[in-house]
Amino acid sequence: MSVIDVSEATFEREVIERSASQPVVVDFWAQWCGPCRALGPLLERAAAEREGKVTLAKLETDANPALAQAFGIRGIPAVKAFKDGRVVSEFVGAQGREAVERFFDALVPSEADQLVASGSEEDLRRALELQPGRADAALQLARMLIARGEREAASQLLEPVSGSFQADGLAARLQLEADGELAEAFAALDAGELEQGLEQLLAALPSADGRRDQIRRVIVGELDALGPEHPLAQSTRRRLAAALY
């Protein structure tokens, strides 16, 4: 069932506990509220189209004032999405169909999301058919191709990807490796010796000439994979900036 009515007595079970297994969208509404009556059918349609993936819970605020107060409801309609027992997304006021669809789409994994999560080569290729240039799919698939020696195919796969430091870094590494450059640094990275590998890449910058930007891209890609809070990423970022500027 994609649409249920909830109350203060059933909210914990039907919303909080249920949200551990799938998103639950709660529609805080009232009988007298005109915008609520306009929004309700759009919410119900969106939930029905995602049957089994998301539940719409309708809560009448006049009959359940304690819950309305607990969640700070000051205007209706108010819509809150729950995952793992907490609010992850919300909006207030009537919305059009497109806005409602986007709200639900952000909660429920798309077909491409599910294919990427699968991680098989067939599914990754299908994900890229659905969303050409999708970075996470292209990265996983490119690494598979590299592992079996199909480096040219991996380079071509990464070409249309934009906005991904890791994809850009891997593409730059493939270019450098094709020229026989920095084999020791890349071997260290592959062995998990990140600090040593990054040290060698940094050391190569002063005399890199036309390869400086490629080396920079490789380093930035590795730092992006580490995350901004990683101590090695923070120290290397400072050293990279000093070496370049």
Q: What is the pLDDT of residues 31-58, one digit of tens each?
A: 999 999 999 999 999 999 888 899 999 9
Selected catalytic residue, list 6, 24, 36, 146 = 36
Instruction: Report the relative pairing of strands 24-29 and 55-60 from DSSP bridges.
Output: parallel
pLDDT digits (tens, 9 = 90+) for 105-136: 899 877 888 899 999 999 999 999 988 999 99
Per-residue pLDDT at 209: 84
Per-residue pLDDT, 109: 79
The overall average pLDDT reported for the chain is 94
Task: Compute the average pLDDT of residues 220-228.
Answer: 95
Average pLDDT over residues 211-240: 95
Quick one: pLDDT at residue 43?
Answer: 95
Q: How many CB atoms lie within 10 A of CB 201?
A: 25
Residue-level pLDDT at 111: 83
3 state SS of 52: coil
Catalytic residue among 15, 33, 172, 198: 33
Domains and CATH numbers, the chain: 3-105 (3.40.30.10), 111-244 (1.25.40)
**What's the confidence (pLDDT) of residue 45?**
92
- pLDDT the model gives residue 49: 87
Confidence (pLDDT) at 175: 95
Average pLDDT over residues 164-190: 95
Answering whether pTM is above 0.75, one says no
Q: Is 30 exposed, middle or buried (0-12, 13-18, 19+ CB in 10 A)?
A: middle
Q: Is 4 a catalytic residue?
A: no
For residue 9 the two structure tokens come to: 């007595």
Q: Clarify whether 36 is annotated catalytic.
A: yes
Token reading at 147:
């592992």
1: confidence class by pLDDT, cuts 50, 70, 90:
low
pLDDT (mean) for 67-79: 93
